[in-house]
Amino acid sequence: MSGLQLRQQAILPKKPRPIISIGLGGIVHDAHYPAYKIAGFEVHSGFDLSADRATMMKEKFGIPTIHESLEDAINNAPDNAVFDVAVPGNAIVDILAKLPDGSAVLIQKPMGDDLDDARKILKICQDKNLTAAINFQLRYAPFIIAARDMIEQGLIGELYDIEARMQINTPWHLWEFLFPLPRVEILYHSIHYIDLIRSFLGTPQSVYAKTMAHPLAPDLKGGTRSMIIMDYGDNPRVNVMTNHSHAYGTEKQQSYFKFEGSKGAIKIRAGLNMNYPHGVPDTFEYALNVEDQQTTWQSLDIHGSWFPEAFIGTMASVMRKVNGETDELPTAVEDAFQTMAVVEAAYESSKDGGTLIPQA
């Protein structure tokens, strides 16, 4: 195995703040609370529209207080709390409007259902002076932190090529709320990869995209397959390719991120997407070109994964920002708005269609 030493973990706040959960759905159960337990973050209290759901979460995770209303949760929050809002996109604006001015808040992605929603969310956060971030947690997955460390050290040189490819069999029935939505694949899945790529390269000049449904998932009108080209000029080439209906066993499934540079390359298997929700082990491989030596691929041990460890990083970043421990808030609503703009452009490109073939 490799002897390369890379950073893999998010920086934790020196003084963690109490967390108020607004919404206690599946993502909180599967990722938020397991991550907070690992990090030692305190969940102060929670609220969910379903009393039964809230009771189950209280019993499983030992939430000290479950509130009967959103207003109770807000009115009884400590002054130094961080609000952890994990609700459908169309409910975000109304909740933000009720938070005290100057609050700290982490908002589950996406930033609304479309760019108009994102504008409203951005405006209310700015008008109320909220320290607000969107939970684009893939940026903080241990394998991404390690890749970013390698790239920032210049170990693979200038980036020439980034690719995200998902050829998987996603169990969409786990998210029933998605079925009636007009936008699904890009807005709820590929948005992670768009945001991740933006975190390395910034916002692209333009986007070429096509998203569509699949005959094996005809009830998901919002699409389960996408091809997205993010245009950064001649370099680097950037592709996001997804097919969520590869229903032929796991042997030929793919879930990877690839970074190629002038001096080396990184390939990461994000195992969570394969055989979801159980997943398969992640892998981190890299190759470095060394003069007069044959290029060989090496493996790096990665500690932790996308779920739940990546969710430590987004909450930690909000806490550190509001504590004054850092001036940076990587997934701040201002930056997340740009990710939503790329998503919007992808849908517009898909709707407009390709260039027609010239006739003789």
Per-position DSSP letters for 131-182, written without gaps between them? EEEE--GGGGSHHHHHHHHHHHTTTT-SEEEEEEEEE-B--GGG-GGGTT-S
* Summary mean pLDDT of the chain: 96
How many Å apart are CA 200 and CA 214, to the nearest integer? 31
How many Å apart are CA 211 and CA 224, to the nearest integer? 7
Phi, psi at residue 346, to the nearest 5°?
-65, -45
Looking at the fold, whether 286 and 155 belong to one and the same domain comes out as yes
2: pLDDT strictly greater than 70: no
Looking at the fold, whether 196 and 113 belong to one and the same domain comes out as no
pLDDT digits (tens, 9 = 90+) for 179-226: 999 999 999 999 999 999 999 999 999 999 999 999 988 899 999 999
Looking at the fold, whether 273 and 185 belong to one and the same domain comes out as yes
Residue 231, CB half-sphere, CA atoms under 13 Å: how many? 9
Looking at the fold, whether 272 and 185 belong to one and the same domain comes out as yes
% of residues, the chain, pLDDT over 70: 99
Assigned domain for 193 exists: yes
pLDDT digits (tens, 9 = 90+) for 13-34: 999 999 999 999 999 999 999 9
Assigned domain for 87 exists: yes
Looking at the fold, whether 66 and 44 belong to one and the same domain comes out as yes
Residue range(s) defining the domain that contains residue 165: 139-299
pLDDT at 291: 78
Cα 135 to the center of its chain, rounded Å: 6
pLDDT digits (tens, 9 = 90+) for 146-162: 999 999 999 999 999 99
Phi, psi at residue 201, to the nearest 5°?
-120, -10
Assigned domain for 2 exists: no
Collapsing DSSP to helix, strand or coil, 77 comes out as coil
Q: Which of 195, 239, 151 is nearest to 336 (CA)?
A: 195
Assigned domain for 350 exists: no
Q: For residue 257, what are the contacts with CB-CB under 8 A and spacing of at least 6?
A: 144, 147, 162, 163, 164, 193, 196, 266, 267, 268, 270
How many Å apart are CA 286 and CA 284, to the nearest integer? 7
Assigned domain for 337 exists: no
Q: Both tokens of residue 238?
A: 């950037």
Looking at the fold, whether 64 and 160 belong to one and the same domain comes out as no
% of residues, the chain, pLDDT over 90: 92
pLDDT digits (tens, 9 = 90+) for 304-336: 999 999 999 999 999 999 999 999 999 999 999
Looking at the fold, whether 131 and 253 belong to one and the same domain comes out as no
Looking at the fold, whether 161 and 205 belong to one and the same domain comes out as yes
Assigned domain for 59 exists: yes
Q: For residue 85, what are the contacts with CB-CB under 8 A and spacing of at least 6?
A: 22, 23, 92, 95, 96, 105, 106, 107, 108
Q: Which of 28-37, 169-178, 266-275, 303-312 has the lowest mean pLDDT?
A: 169-178
**Residue 50 confidence class, pLDDT cut points 50, 70, 90:** very high
Assigned domain for 111 exists: yes
Measured between alpha carbons, how far is residue 329 from residues 87, 137, 171 in Å?
A: 21, 12, 33
Q: Both tokens of residue 80?
A: 């130094």
pLDDT digits (tens, 9 = 90+) for 52-85: 999 999 999 999 999 999 999 999 999 999 999 9
CB neighbours (10 Å) of residue 153? 11
Looking at the fold, whether 294 and 251 belong to one and the same domain comes out as yes
CATH number at 42 reads 3.40.50.720
Measured between alpha carbons, how far is residue 183 from residues 55, 87, 186, 225, 304 in Å?
A: 32, 17, 7, 12, 31
Average pLDDT on 119-145 reads 98
Collapsing DSSP to helix, strand or coil, 231 comes out as strand
pLDDT digits (tens, 9 = 90+) for 220-267: 999 999 999 999 999 999 999 999 999 998 899 999 999 999 999 999
Q: How far apart are the first and last CA of the chain?
A: 58
**Residue 1 confidence class, pLDDT cut points 50, 70, 90:** very low
292: pLDDT strictly greater than 80: no
pLDDT at 39: 98
Looking at the fold, whether 229 and 319 belong to one and the same domain comes out as no
CATH number at 177 reads 3.30.360.10
Looking at the fold, whether 158 and 268 belong to one and the same domain comes out as yes
Q: How many domains is the chain built from?
A: 2
Assigned domain for 282 exists: yes
3: pLDDT strictly greater than 80: no
Looking at the fold, whether 146 and 283 belong to one and the same domain comes out as yes
